Structure 1
């Protein structure tokens, strides 16, 4: 069993959530043990390694769960990953983006599934986020901004949704730049956007990333989780069009949430000035009022990006997996 397959098996252990997985991985690090060795431990050795498992809030995770896996199904899906060109990048791997780990700390996904140009995980990146229902003028400006960022050698990160996300990805690729698409579903559900069809050899300049098991289907909660990764991979976040923090029904805007997360992580946020928009969305003004930088053109944005430097995040203190 190799390290990457062991991580994949770990993701299928019943009851092993994010908190318990982090405890287990920290103990393994302290004992200088590999993930593979977990599956070879005796019940006694397992209890000595993680004595809190099976008790209290961690009662759902037990030794037996590591040995009740459907090995054949897991091996078949692992083989499917290889055939689809999907790479598993665990938090301990050299390829895991240090920016994501340092910005999100214990909120950083323990595993990323990747397809495409893996070098882009460590690229100097800026995110572009915005509404699925932005008007035509905003979408065209999104494409121009993505091209301008690409022209500065910056990788464009977005969420692969329709609207602003799609125009951000295609704008970067059409300008012979690079882009990272962070998905809110598993990579087995990835489908090529029709907008990519006219862009020559776009595959070499794109990376698809998901923090979810490849079979996972889209869900609203996944989109919110995805937004944190978009922020974590980026040294700045560009907001093209955002709804208010919550709409009349109390539903949170994903774009606003991404911008708020960036502010909390001290990642610079640049918001399209509503004064320059024919139909200004309510969220843009609200974000500017909270301290985001306003811009009205690609050139103005580029200047702001070069002037702004995200505060260096301290290394995680709860876990040392990323040291």
Structure 2
């Protein structure tokens, strides 16, 4: 069982497998570790070493999925498709790969990028919050964004509803830089109301995804996407979050990777402040202004 081109470099083989859409982030990491150890390992050997022999059914399913993908389109055809759509490809083997991802437990092996990839060279701050922010949350964000972008901080979020959308839009409106990391292919918009914003960011800012073209916004993509948001930046700022929100998941992922987390306190009677107040109680930095955020970032 071999892919259709034996003469590809390790980098190109990794890109090809990411483009197929059948390899999970964990399996992509296994491919990377295997081929950097021995570039001549066969796919069959790699699958066998990744999936326990006791789970022969899973092994066969993965092998069949890969074989089907190889027959569907060659590396050259896929590569041309991405070139036509002006999508850049960043891999863990590249010098420009972000240090934050490199030093994380499950780094993305291949990331698809549309826009200004040089934004990754600037100091980044992830900003997350509720999809249905209160007037308080909106006011906090509108007050904090301008001073942060004025200091050259690139703001990272997930192009979702609510706080995410406001982070990106406000950054652009204030002449700043922003990066969106999404849980679908770059040719898919979710939610649909962010279609114009995503197109603008792909042209003028930066939108990134671990998932190849055509990938739908599956529910299980978003926790994986959140680890990329958390690990790309120096720190994560949480503005409003319920007790079991995706924003809190992102914050906890940041904490697990020894990243700083800042939280804006809120009304103790508001469900959207439960998550942020719990973070502060657990040791997250309590920030009341953009000045607080900048001072915290300077200590790193």
- Using structure 1 for the length normalisation, give the TM-score: 0.76
1:216 aligns to 2:221 (yes or no): no
Shift of 1:195: 7.3
Q: 5+ residue gaps in structure 1?
A: 246-252, 310-323
- 8 Å CA contact retained: 1:115, 1:209: yes
Shift of 1:117: 0.5
Q: How does 1:134-283 map to 2 (within 5 A)?
A: 134-190=133-189, 193=194, 196=197, 205-245=204-244, 253-275=245-267, 281-283=273-275
- 8 Å CA contact retained: 1:146, 1:169: no
C-alpha distance in 1 between matches for 2:237 and 2:51: 45
Instruction: Report the CA distance shift for 1:268/1:113 in structure 2 as closer, same or farther (over 3 A).
Output: same
Aligned twin of 1:9: 16
- 8 Å CA contact retained: 2:266, 2:273: yes
Shift of 1:85: 1.1
Equivalent in 53, 57, 60 of residue 56 of structure 1: 53
- 8 Å CA contact retained: 1:126, 1:157: yes
C-alpha distance in 2 between matches for 1:194 and 1:23: 34
- Using structure 2 for the length normalisation, give the TM-score: 0.81
Shift of 1:67: 5.5
- 8 Å CA contact retained: 2:19, 2:212: no
Where 2:73 maps in the other structure, the secondary structure is helix
C-alpha RMSD of the superposition: 3.3
Shift of 1:295: 1.6
Shift of 1:144: 3.1
Per-residue CA distance 1:168-212 (angstroms, 9 max, x = gap): 112222221111100011111147847759xxx866651101011
- 8 Å CA contact retained: 2:14, 2:28: no
